[in-house]
């Protein structure tokens, strides 16, 4: 009788050990997934900051064509990126493509209404430019 009791105890110890190992394995996988997701978020934030710095640099150098290329690439992979639309609005403004510039700034407001104070003056300038109409070549 005592031996069957010992076997029963061993059986339950093995079950408890297997359950414990399984829980540790599941927890390890969950931690690994959270870690990988966290790294991808940090990586994306880093690339977003790099994009902003590059855009500012190109804008300050008045390298508008290069800025447009950079922003177009960013918008292909991140169509909801408010900063990409912001820089596209500025680039198109400096190129004199006012309707496209205005659309970009309006898109910024759709994505981030809290940017209204920053965008309002740009839209006012664009409305003035658009009201003037095209200049005739003499």
DSSP per position, 54-123: HHHHHHHTT-HHHHHHHHHHHHHH-TT-HHHHHHHHHHHHHHT-HHHHHHHHHHHHHH-GGGHHHHHHHH
What domains can be seen in the chain, in order of their start residue? 2-132 (1.25.40.10)
Segment 40-69, tens digit of pLDDT: 767 777 788 999 999 999 999 999 999 999
What's the rounded mean pLDDT across residues 90-100? 95
Q: Do the Cβ atoms of 28 and 60 come closer than 8 Å?
A: no
Give the length of the chain.
138
What's the rounded mean pLDDT across residues 129-137? 71
Residue 105 has pLDDT above 70, yes or no: yes
| Residues 6+ away with beta carbon under 8 Å from 21 | none
- Residue 135's pLDDT is what? 60
- Residue 117's pLDDT is what? 93
What's the rounded mean pLDDT across residues 71-95? 96
> Which residue, among 104, 65, 3, has the nearest Cα to 126 in the 3D structure?
104
Residue 136 has pLDDT above 60, yes or no: no
Residue with the bigger pLDDT between 35 and 127: it is: 127
Q: Could you tell me the pLDDT band of residue 134, with boundaries at 50, 70 and 90?
A: low
Mean pLDDT taken over the chain: 89
Residue with the bigger pLDDT between 8 and 71: it is: 71
| Residues 6+ away with beta carbon under 8 Å from 70 | 51, 54, 55, 58, 87
- Residue 44's pLDDT is what? 74
Euclidean distance between CA atoms 26 and 14, whole angstroms: 18
């Amino acid at each position: 009788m005592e031996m069957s009791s010992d076997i029963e105890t061993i059986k339950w110890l093995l079950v408890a050990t297997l359950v414990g190992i399984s829980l540790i394995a599941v927890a390890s996988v969950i931690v690994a997934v959270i870690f990988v997701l966290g790294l991808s978020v940090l990586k994306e934030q880093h690339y977003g900051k790099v994009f902003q710095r590059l855009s500012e640099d190109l804008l300050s150098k008045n390298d508008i064509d290069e800025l447009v290329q950079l922003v177009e690439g960013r918008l292909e992979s991140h169509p909801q990126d408010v900063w990409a639309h912001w820089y596209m609005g500025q680039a198109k403004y400096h190129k004199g493509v006012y309707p496209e510039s205005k659309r970009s700034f309006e898109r910024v407001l759709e994505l981030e209404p809290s940017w209204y104070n920053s965008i309002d003056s740009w839209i006012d300038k664009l409305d003035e430019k658009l009201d003037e109409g095209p200049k005739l070549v003499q």
